[in-house]
Amino acid sequence: MESESDTKESDHATHLRPPRFGAVPVRPAARSCWDAALVLTDETGSNMDWQSNEGDSPVIDENVIESLRELGGEDDPGLVAELIEMFLEDAPRHLDDMITGLESGDLEIVHRSAHTLKSSAANMGAMILSSLCKEVEELARTECVDELGPKARFCREAFSATKEALEAVEG
């Protein structure tokens, strides 16, 4: 049974489970991209340590978004919205290529797709997605197929949370 503090904490986080445990976002929408957090849990409900010892990380690093706003400045105030739109159009193709490569056994495609998405995600402040893609990239490079499938598929769930958070960003 959830305590009152657990309920409040879950109100401010998007919870996902890795696919082998039934990945499902349980919070429909974040009030803003900054209060959304991606909490990765295992089958017992314990936080998984994918990126740091903290267990909770923001879906989007607001400092990266702010840097992009500053880059556009007064001359190009729509730069952030344009970059978000391009990322949200491109990322699903890389995710599809990653899964297709995995299913066909073409680890070079998995590696290349993960590498590209890792960099794109980092450029948009999607550090959790970037970190997961880095792991997939390394697993594909070292041909660790047993671990590769669940992590590659979990990237799709992390992208869903990233997409939701980026759509909440005001250009």
Question: Per residue in 41-95, pLDDT tens?
Answer: 433 343 344 443 335 678 999 999 999 999 999 899 899 999 999 999 999 999 9
DSSP string, 65-115: HHHHHHHHTTT-TTHHHHHHHHHHHHHHHHHHHHHHHHHHT-HHHHHHHHH
How many Å apart are CA 39 and CA 47, to the nearest integer? Answer: 7
Could you tell me the pTM of the whole model? 0.69
Compute the distance between CA of residue 78 and CA of residue 89 in angstroms, rounded to an integer: 17
Number of domains in the chain: 1
* Neighbour count for residue 37 (Cβ, 10 Å): 22
pLDDT band at 29 (very low <50, low <70, confident <90, very high): very low
Range of the domain at 136: 4-167
pLDDT of residue 171: 58
CATH code of the domain containing 70 = 1.20.120.160
